[in-house]
Amino acid sequence: MSAVLDAGYRRQLRRSFMLCVVATTALALSVLSDGVLTALRLLATEFHVGALLPVFSMAIEVACVCVLAWHIRSITRRATSLAALNAQLG
């Protein structure tokens, strides 16, 4: 890790951030499509206790995607604060 935010390091951070955003978007689309397929499967059957497992699994998947998106947002806010601090000092 570089001690200063030079242009090369900022470019590398931007690329890493974009890669995280793309991966999170793909994961969110995967969870969304899984939710649609699960809903279609559950609508075709009568409600029973066994239907709670897919619903619980979907809730866990959605929660994980939300946590990941929150972490990426947190990293973005910290990077913005660091860039502002670096601009004031430099």
What string of pLDDT tens digits covers the 90 residues of the chain? Answer: 555 667 777 788 889 889 988 998 999 999 999 889 888 888 888 877 877 888 888 899 899 989 988 998 898 888 778 777 777 776
What's the pLDDT at 1? 53
Q: How far is CA 86 from CA 5, 6, 34, 68, in A?
A: 7, 10, 43, 27
What's the pLDDT at 78? 86
What's the pLDDT at 9? 77
Q: What is the DSSP letter of 45?
A: S
**The whole model's pTM is what?**
0.69
- Which residues contact residue 62 at a Cβ distance below 8 angstroms, ignoring those fewer than 6 apart? 31, 35
Give the whole-angstrom CA distance, residue 72 versus residue 21: 8
Quick one: which of 63, 66, 85 has its CA closest to 74? Answer: 66
What's the pLDDT at 63? 93
Q: What is the DSSP letter of 58?
A: H
What's the pLDDT at 67? 93
What's the pLDDT at 2? 57
